Amino acid sequence: MGSVNLKAMQKIALIRGDGIGPEISDAVTEILNTACPQLEWVPVEAGLGLIEKIGKGITDEGIKTLAETRISLKGPTTTPVGGGHRSINVTIRKTLDLFVNVRPVRSIPGVETPFKNVDMVIVRENIEDTYGGVEHRQSEDLAQCLRFITRSGSIRCHRYAFEMARREKRKRVTCVHKANIMKITDGLWLDAFREVAKGYPDIQADDIIVDNCCMQMVSKPQQFDVLVLPNLFGDIVSDLGAGLVGGLGVASGANIGTSGAIFEPVHGSAPDIAGKGLANPTAMLFSAISMLRHLARIDEANRVERALLATLGNPATRTKDLGGTLGTQDFKRALIANL
């Protein structure tokens, strides 16, 4: 009998995305191919180009591939403001039931910001709330948006936050809400949190109103450990979190559900710098590192992370958004040299 190959090829669906998406996706896949030769990329077309061709941002076949591979890496996709098509992200997250979005907010050695020693994780509910875009006009001058918060959706998100806290040896989970004003919807969200917290006596559970949370985050962010938020607050507060640790160029995320996960940066398609070779691939690379850990490829994840931190730690090999001089390609080359 021949020797058994313990690590089989791992299929990963890849959405390169719009704007800076293709530039950073190509850099990230090249880095990963160098460090982990057993990854097989399955391209899935999604984004503006497809909308222009067929009128929707992702095909049924594309969704099927994401569901079958179960693990995907995604670049940002563009959603026009005000009108136009529905967000591709919202479609994918809802269709695949990716019910939480996990966004770590950690200080990175060498990346200068006014805040030191920040280490929190934002757990955002990913498919409910006003974010589904269920809106209509009652009249020319009155628009209405429906907000959905369910007990079951809230419970599974809170449970994920507590389980993650336990797994990562974190001590505290804070529920963020606006239940003083939105007494019924955020009231249900908070009520579900308190119910779930009873099952985790080893973890401190408390809550905070979202506006105070924002103020506390920019005054003393070190106090927070795990934050769990409804969809829209989570979207906004995680960009605030990104700002604490170096900006959108470094903020990673993961959409997780029971039947799969999609790893993607927090930032969007950055049309202001698209095609200029300036985009920082760090956020997408941190997302890819989380993906490798999710796949239990711990040694490979650690190797890529060490090289990334060494590259960011050297002022000569930083991208422009972090005060350096390098563009996407040179940053990638410096990182591969550090592997």
Minimum distance from CB of 89 to ligand NAI (Å)? 5
Phi and psi, residue 108, nearest 5°: -110, 125
From candidates 25, 29, 65, 77, binder to ligand NAI by CB under 6 A: 77
**292 within 8 A of 134, measured Cβ to Cβ:** no
Helix (H, G, I), strand (E, B), or coil: what is residue 318?
coil
Contact between 79 and ligand NAI by CB under 6 A: the answer reads: yes
Q: Which is nearer to ligand NAI, 75 or 221 (CB)?
A: 75
Residues between 194 and 253 that touch ligand NAI (CB under 6 A): 248-249
Q: Which is nearer to ligand NAI, 29 or 89 (CB)?
A: 89
In the bound complex, which residue of the shown chain has the CB atom lying closest to ligand NAI? 268
Q: Which is nearer to ligand NAI, 243 or 313 (CB)?
A: 243
Residues β-bridged to residue 253: 264
**318 within 8 A of 326, measured Cβ to Cβ:** yes
Residues between 100 and 129 that touch ligand NAI (CB under 6 A): none
Binding mask 156-185 toward ligand NAI (x if CB under 6 A, else -) reads: ------------------------------
From candidates 62, 76, 234, 324, binder to ligand NAI by CB under 6 A: 76
Residues between 264 and 323 that touch ligand NAI (CB under 6 A): 264, 267-273, 279-280, 283, 321
Q: Looking at this protein, which amino acid is placed at residue 104?
A: P
Minimum distance from CB of 270 to ligand NAI (Å)? 4
Count of residues that bind ligand NAI according to CB under 6 A: 21
Cβ density class 73-85: b for 16+ within 10 Å, e for less: bbbbbbbeeeeee
Residues β-bridged to residue 74: 15
Contact between 26 and ligand NAI by CB under 6 A: the answer reads: no
Minimum distance from CB of 300 to ligand NAI (Å)? 23
Minimum distance from CB of 280 to ligand NAI (Å)? 4
Structure tokens at 185: 């919807």
Contact between 60 and ligand NAI by CB under 6 A: the answer reads: no
> What number of CA atoms fall less than 13 Å from residue 61's CA on the CB side?
5
Give dist(CA 45, CA 43) in Å, integer.
6
Phi and psi, residue 211, nearest 5°: -65, -45
Give dist(CA 214, CA 209) in Å, integer.
9
**262 within 8 A of 66, measured Cβ to Cβ:** yes
Give dist(CA 127, CA 129) in Å, integer.
7
Minimum distance from CB of 60 to ligand NAI (Å)? 20
Give dist(CA 229, CA 226) in Å, integer.
10
Candidates 38-46, 73-81, 96-104, 219-227: pick the segment binding ligand NAI (CB under 6 A): 73-81
Positions touching ligand NAI (CB under 6 A) are 20, 24, 76-79, 89, 248-249, 264, 267-273, 279-280, 283, 321
